[in-house]
Amino acid sequence: MKFNVIRTSLLAAILMLTQAGMAAPVAQAQGVAPPARRLFFVRGTDTLTQTGVLQSGGADRYVMKLQRNQIMSVGVRSPRNNVILIVWGQDGTVLMSDHAGSPNWEGTTPSNQDYYFDVRAVAGTSANYTLTAYARPTDSGPAVPVPTLKRISFAPGAVSATVVDKVGAGGRTEYALRANRGQRMAVNVVRVSGPQVVLSVVGADGTVLLSTMPGASGFSGVLPASQDYYLKISGGRQASAFRLTVSVVR
């Protein structure tokens, strides 16, 4: 009788350990990113929109095939501004990591491959979001030359500078400005002639302060790091002239 009791206890213990061991992979699997959903542009368009709902701390993953040197802009919006975006290539090239904590990325694709976009809810929150992606088609006409970077510097004792310049049809004019963490930078671009131009502001570390998607002509905000900041003026279907004013104060 005693032997049967011991054997029964051992079997119960083995069963409990087996069930615990089977439960462990399930718990680990909850942290695995969901399968990527492939996105396609409708023929004749260069912009797409995708909506989704994230549970607390959850993530959605999307993938899109793009060619080398395509100009791409990706952004995600949520009513509570509690989502971030991560962008990387199939070859492992990270275009924007989660450390940036940003909902926007804009740049040129480095190679022909799949590109992945992770939309993540800030830990402890759920989110409804809208993902918007833009990519200039490779067959949209002659390649736009890479713009020459122009550096902006202030006169001694000044906190602002104004530049009058132009941007070609479908092109981009870029400026670099060195500023420090905690300073407030204000940028404003005014069209002088030609179609309206669009402003974007990106840090040297890849942090997007203002993407092209809002179609904005101004930016004002406190800078997150001491580094170069790139001010990009994008043109329309025809050449434009513009006046750019930049100020940086503590």
Q: What is the pLDDT of residues 160-185, one digit of tens each?
A: 999 999 998 878 888 989 999 999 99
Question: Percent of the chain at pLDDT above 70?
Answer: 80
pLDDT tens by residue, 118-130: 999 988 889 999 9
CA neighbours closer than 13 Å in the CB half-sphere of residue 24: 5
Buried-state track 126-159, b at ≥16 Cβ within 10 A, e below 16: ebebebbbbbbeeeeeeebeebeeeebeeeeeee
Question: Percent of the chain at pLDDT above 90?
Answer: 39
- Residue 231 has a pLDDT of 93
pLDDT above 90: residue 117: yes
Of 245, 240, 73, the closest CA to residue 170 belongs to: 240
pLDDT bucket at 46, cuts 50 / 70 / 90: confident
Backbone CA torsion sign across 25, 27, 30, 32 = negative
Q: Which domains does the chain have, with CATH numbers?
A: 37-135 (2.60.120.380), 149-249 (2.60.120.380)
pLDDT bucket at 148, cuts 50 / 70 / 90: low
- Residue 22 has a pLDDT of 33
Q: Do 198 and 217 meet the contact criterion of CB atoms below 8 Å apart?
A: yes
